[in-house]
Amino acid sequence: MRIFSPLYDKAMQWARHPHAPWYLGGLSFAESSFFPIPPDVMLAPMALGRPERAWRYALVATLGSAVGGLFGYLIGHWAFDAVEPLLHEAGYWARYLEVRAWFDEWGFWAVFLAGFSPIPYKLFTITAGVVSMALVPFFLASVISRGARFFLVAGLMAWGGAPMERALRRYIDRVGWLLVGLVILVWLLNRG
């Protein structure tokens, strides 16, 4: 069943849209402070579809994410009482407590590692504000780690370029169903 190839085609069409960099910047900003979808899902097809602009797209994602991280910091610093119930409702509370413990022990390095990892970065930006982490080290950790992540993604996509895009298009349905199967398997294993 070919479900993923039309989605892939649509994603590549959106990635080539003239306003796509603005959307990427907005998504990067939002993901660092309150939105659950990481910018990589937009950055990768954009860099794959326009490899000559991959570095520019990585810079847009980095700057949007760093500024969004400052917004997350402000949320934690000034509005945590309003955000706390949302963390409970979204199932992030246990993660938040874990992140808070990391801050107590690691500070700058917690932000740095989180910025590069798939851990929801917004938990770290908000927590940095809650614990009133020094702003300059927080911002530097954000820029360096998020930049490393986004430039790596963009670089890999640009390196693969048109041949990778063709190969991915050819196998996207198989890859998609494989991922669905893996998600179901992980869910079943964690359920029991």
What is the mean pLDDT of the segment spanning 24-49?
Answer: 89
Kindly give the interhelix angle for 121-130 and 93-106, rounded to the nearest 10 degrees.
60
Tell me, yes or no, whether 149 lies in a domain. Answer: yes
Residue 56 has pLDDT above 70, yes or no: yes
Tell me, yes or no, whether 36 lies in a domain. Answer: yes
Cα 132 from Cα 7, distance rounded (Å): 42
Q: What is the pLDDT of residues 137-180, one digit of tens each?
A: 999 999 999 999 999 999 999 998 878 778 777 877 787 788 77
The type of residue at 121 is Y
**160 φ/ψ angles, rounded to the nearest 5 degrees:** -70, -40
Tell me, yes or no, whether 91 lies in a domain. Answer: yes
What is the mean pLDDT of the segment spanning 19-25?
Answer: 94
Q: What is the pLDDT of residues 84-95, one digit of tens each?
A: 898 889 888 888
Tell me, yes or no, whether 96 lies in a domain. Answer: yes
Tell me, yes or no, whether 144 lies in a domain. Answer: yes
Q: What percent of the chain has pLDDT over 70?
A: 98
Domain count, the chain: 1
Tell me, yes or no, whether 11 lies in a domain. Answer: no
Residues in the chain: 192
Look at the alpha carbons of 8, 12, 15, 19 in this order and tell me if their dihedral is positive or negative. negative
Give residue 33's domain range.
16-161
Task: Label residues 20-29 b or e (16+ Cβ within 10 Å = b).
Answer: bbebbbbbbb
Residue pair 103/131 in contact by the 8 Å Cβ criterion: yes
Cα 118 from Cα 107, distance rounded (Å): 18
Residue in the structure block whose two tokens are 């911002």: 139
Tell me, yes or no, whether 115 lies in a domain. Answer: yes
